[in-house]
Amino acid sequence: MKNILVMCTGNSCRSILGEALINAKINGVKAYSCGITPSGKINSNVKKILENNGIWDESYHSKNLDEVIDISFDLVVTVCDHAKETCPMFPRPVKKIHVGFVDPDGKDYEEFVKTYREIEEILLPKIEENLKK
């Protein structure tokens, strides 16, 4: 089993969507997410999209890196520029990639659907490609 960490600023939208999509769609991988400055909550539109797609899990929550730092990650993915620029050092060397997405927070539900689709169509293939290397 390979472990992936998806990071963004608030860990309320993009990184949660990434975590859920990776867990649902990529076999042999366990995804986690965290925020540089976590909001402490998951955006209600994110939960709604994940429920509507049958991939919501009650274990998903907004968290800080401290909660997952002891996991040995095979890949760290940043999904916003702020997380990329401030990505911390990890206890051991780990491969990092960046695929940025526009933050849908504060926008209407359709923007969240768009972000969900972009993460599924753009991020998941990049993760699969990077895990093969």
In this structure, the number of other CB atoms found within 10 A of the CB of residue 89 comes to: 7
- Identify the active-site residue in 29, 55, 65, 87: 87
Known catalytic membership, residue 34: no
Known catalytic membership, residue 13: no
- Identify the active-site residue in 8, 13, 36, 42: 8
Structure-token match 């649902």, residue found: 24
Known catalytic membership, residue 8: yes
HSE-CB at 102 with a 13 A cutoff on CA atoms is: 10
In the DSSP assignment, the letter for residue 120 is I
- Identify the active-site residue in 80, 83, 119, 127: 80
In this structure, the number of other CB atoms found within 10 A of the CB of residue 20 comes to: 24
Helices (H) and strands (E) in the chain, counts: 5, 4
Supply the residues annotated as catalytic: 8, 80, 87
